[in-house]
Amino acid sequence: MIAALLVACSGPSATDPVEPASFRAITFNTGTTEGLAHDPTFDGYGDVQAAWSDQYYGDGLAWAPAVDAVAAFLAGADADIVAFQEIFDPADCATIPADAQAGFYCDGWDGGATVAEHVTGADYQVVCHPGKPDKCVAVHERLGAIAGPMEGFEVEGCGSGARVARIDIPGVATVVSVHGNSGLAEADQACRAAQVEAIFAPGGLASGDVNLILGDLNTDPGRWVGVDTSAAAWDAHVGEGTGFHWITAVGPDSEPSYQGIVTIDHMASDTLVGDCFTPGVTAGTAPVYAGVYFDHHPVVCDLVGG
């Protein structure tokens, strides 16, 4: 059973949006994991900090030097839409011991900007998935204001909160933000497949005039179709004859966005087309951060109407 959840948007008051000839979108899972070869001699982030990240920060973006690196990357990228997964919500800072705050965003946080607001800046309106403050979408004011509340869908038995959600930017697009359940167990695959159906069902999340779907699918639709039912679900709805197409590359030769292994961070649309690159993977591009922290690379796409 899929239950709809609503959360009110906050941000700049609505203005008449100006439809751009083109716009830039980014999806970025900004999380980390204990399993990486961290180098504390570079930025002070070692095994102790990685354990704190896992225990207190949900492995979301919270290490201050990495937060600053993301802010610098986004300032240079100048995107119109940014979808985040695994970005820390500092509302939890009050519950974290003082010694585990050293070097993290919580250290000195005064209740002001969230991490998502900090790394995007004042020109963006930021909204987060209902019940999932670690999954957010930021929209630059030049694109127009988000219309109404963010709508999300929670799949019963697949954790709390909405892992798929949408916003509407009048005159531009319906933006569907995705962070599929992780794991390869049959139950994990079934959760992701149900989330895919919530997106593409008649009257579902991707039912705008122009739809942009982006995020961390937690499956590789180009490599895992035969071994993951959620990859097969994506394949059934995106591709030749479906009405939707991949903007990002899929297939065995696609640039891996996750730990140099698989491509699980994607964008798809019914009408938009574009060119994409993966910072730190695509030839001639630099990673977001020189330290060992992120296990995903962002995906950047320059989009135009099809």
pLDDT for position 148: 87
pLDDT for position 4: 39
pLDDT tens-digit readout, 40-75: 999 999 999 999 999 999 999 999 999 999 999 999
Percentage of the chain exceeding pLDDT 90: 92
For residue 183, the enclosing domain spans: 2-305
For residue 295, the domain's CATH number is 3.60.10.10
pLDDT (average), residues 154-164: 97
Beta bridge partners of 63: 104
* Model pTM score: 0.93
Cβ neighbours for 28, distance < 8 A, ≥ 6 positions apart: 70, 82, 83, 84, 85, 265, 288, 296, 298, 299
pLDDT (average), residues 191-211: 98
Q: Is there a contact between 168 and 207 (Cβ–Cβ < 8 Å)?
A: no
pLDDT for position 6: 32
pLDDT for position 1: 38
Q: Is the pLDDT assigned to residue 3 strictly greater than 60?
A: no
Per-residue pLDDT band for 21 (boundaries 50, 70, 90) equals low
Pairing of strands 211-216, 173-179: parallel
pLDDT (average), residues 179-200: 98
pLDDT for position 306: 67
pLDDT tens-digit readout, 111-128: 999 999 999 999 999 999
pLDDT (average), residues 275-284: 98
Q: Report the sign of the C-alpha dihedral through residues 92, 94, 95, 101, in that order.
A: positive
Q: Is the pLDDT assigned to residue 8 strictly greater than 70?
A: no
As a whole number, the mean pLDDT across the chain is 93
pLDDT for position 14: 37
pLDDT for position 17: 46
Q: Is there a contact between 198 and 155 (Cβ–Cβ < 8 Å)?
A: yes
pLDDT (average), residues 222-245: 97
Question: How many angstroms separate the CA atoms of 31 and 289, rounded?
Answer: 13
Question: What is the number of structural domains in the chain?
Answer: 1
Nearest CA to 294 out of 277, 279, 284 is that of 279
Q: Report the sign of the C-alpha dihedral through residues 65, 137, 17, 15, in that order.
A: negative
- Interhelix angle 186-200/229-237, rounded to 10 degrees, is 20
